[in-house]
Amino acid sequence: MFLYGCGSPGAPGSSGSGQGNLSFNSDGGEISVSAASVSVMTIDEQRTKILSAMEAAPSGSYKAGEIIVKFKSETDHSQIADVHKKINATPIKKITNLNGLELVKPPAGMSVKDAVRQYMADPAVEYAEPNYIVKIKTTLPNDIYFPQQWALYNTGQFADGIAGSDIKAYLAWDITKGSNAVTIAVIDTGIDYNHNDLVLNIWNNSGETNCVDDIDNDGNGYVDDCIGWDFVTCSVYDENGICVTPKAPDNDPWDDYGHGTFVAGIIGAKGNNAIGIAGVMWNVKIMPLKVFNSQGYTTISAIVDAIVYAVNKGAKIINESFGGYEFSATEYNALNYANSAGVFVAAAAGNESINNDIYPLYPASFNLPNIISVAATDQKDMLASFSNFGPNSVHVAAPGVYILSTMPDNGYSDKEFWAGTSLSTPYVSGVAGLLMTYYQHFDIYQIKSTIEAYSDYLTNISGLYIKHGRLNAYRAVSSLLVPSGLAASSTQPESINLIWNDNATGESGYKIERMGAGEASFAQIADVSANSASYADNSVAASQTYTYRVRAYNSIGNSLYSNEASATTPAAPSGGGGGGCSVVPVYAKDQTESFDAAFIVLSVVAVAVFTRRKKTSL
């Protein structure tokens, strides 16, 4: 069963019922970015994994009386109807945006597994699989005296913590606090969208012009979905996976469990508002997508509907603080749909102290380039005792014990702090949002690589239990800060001196670009090493004006460009007595103040005193 939990020990199949347990869920070296390095599973590979997972799945781990069927793309409507008729099954609904995908009710008396086998045997069917049930299970720590959010700023003040064992959010906030242009979908138990610390950061569907007219104004198939959607179709399941109390999906994604509101607060509780807590992003739009009922159960079909909704409504990040050990091709293909749309997915690694390299937990273990798998660390930068791990499949870690956040009904967890990789995951989602705010020219693979490469390498964890390191918001956000204050000056006919502020903390070097008078575009003329803040261009001609710009780079990408700065070289000496030189005023494009005479005449002195901004690498 997909048992989503926070910190319950065990292994797949170790519970009394034999069900697999599920969970909520730097190296500092440079890495190259290549989405193509991850191959998409073939249909044959998917079919093999489906059958293997289904044979091992106990009854109760999937919804009784439902399966998911994917027809081949060339199959027309009449052929699909014939397949259903032959098996005597009834289609329940189509799953939008994933062509040929249907939720199907097998005939009375036919088991789910038999129905899957019969559909899989038909040549018109690409695959069929059970509609697995996913369960949230939360473990709450006993210690109620947690006065601060140590995960954001750890001074060693809590539970014998080690100062600095945090994500350095307080330093990242000096650079960016996020943006309302970034939408993060929280697929979870819903959200208290009226919470005082969340209400200003809740997403609104601009396509719905009226929220109570019972009209689908934006034509997306969801009526009055002004702040998200509730995809739950069953309020109560029994122990056999049979729905005891069905319900219809609706437009009210209210949180009646607590987990989704907790996750949302970590991502985007409004900062600096004199109440409650601060999220990683002070400014963001959080899209509430409710898939879990008040028991903490959901199905793959509900999760897939939520993923497709998030992608189609413009979410840039999806937070999935849950997971299960049963492979679902439908969920895989939905997340690959998100990948093709450029949507970043943060997923929890799990809470069973299990090696995900050996026992994959999904969605975190899906081999897709847009997914980052997140383990949990404690206040001493140790791997949390419950956290799943995997030096190949688990990418980074983030704080996941003694976590304080928002709760439904305008509350906070100040009396019951939570633990789990499900709480580590939204820290990564939040940092991804900060990166998308500052590095708007980056794609999601560059965002993921920046998080990984500029995490903190921990000798007791990195490379042993996780692939990279513990999340560091500051190192990631500051890695390619834009060089500023570019200025150009010339006192010699064949030389122009450039100086700038070296702001980046993770650059490999700086690229120098130049455009001469009469030229239509810039061309790179040089690159200089990391930590450089000056360059002498000795390939210029006398009495000519040149314009320059600079940007930082590393193996992941480039920063944005600096301001542009121009200088005119003096005329070449005419020969004969007197000596001396001709000085031409220097200017920097887009700067509002001109240089004074002392800077112009004493440019050598200016180079000496124009100090580089001190950089902090934490």
Q: Which of 26, 422, 479, 490 is catalytic?
A: 422
Is 373 an annotated catalytic residue?
A: no
Of the candidates 229, 227, 237, 236, the residue with the CA atom closest to the CA atom of residue 207 = 227
Q: Which residue matches tokens 């009495």?
A: 543
Short-list 402, 389, 401, 392, CA closest to 460: 389
Asked whether the beta carbons of 75 and 81 are under 8 A apart, the reply is: no
Quote the tokens at residue 372: 């980052």
CB atoms within 10 A of CB 517: 12
Burial label for 451, CB within 10 Å (0-12, 13-18, 19+), is buried
Q: Which of 259, 468, 490, 537 is catalytic?
A: 259
Q: The tokens 């508002």 sit on which residue?
A: 273
Residues 435 and 451: beta-carbon distance below 8 Å: yes
- State how far the Cα of 66 lies from the Cα of 401, in Å rounded to an integer: 37
Query: Between β-strands 229-230 and 283-290, what pairing exists: parallel, antiparallel or unpaired?
Result: parallel
Main-chain phi, psi angles of 69, to 5 degrees: -125, 130
Residue 607 parent element (H or E) = helix 603-609
The question of whether 259 is a catalytic residue gets the answer yes
Beta strands in 502-590 (DSSP E): 509-516, 523-529, 534-537, 545-553, 565-568
Report the alpha-carbon distance of residue 34 to residue 25 in Å, rounded.
27
Q: How far apart are the first and last CA of the chain?
A: 41
- Do 542 and 494 touch, CB atoms closer than 8 A? yes
Secondary structure (DSSP) of 120-186: HTSTTEEEEEEEEEEEEEE---S-----S-TTT---S-STTPPTT-S--HHHHTTT--EEEEEEEEE
Active-site entry in 188, 197, 224, 230: 188
Three-class SS of residue 370? coil
- Distance, C-alpha 578 to centroid of its chain: 66
The DSSP-derived string for 107-137 is PTT--HHHHHHHHHTSTTEEEEEEEEEEEEE
Pairing mode, if any, of strands 243-246 and 344-348? unpaired
Establish whether 424 is a catalytic residue: no
**What DSSP state is assigned to residue 554?**
-
341 CB-near residues (< 8 Å, 6+ apart):
311
Mind telling me the catalytic residues?
A: 188, 259, 422
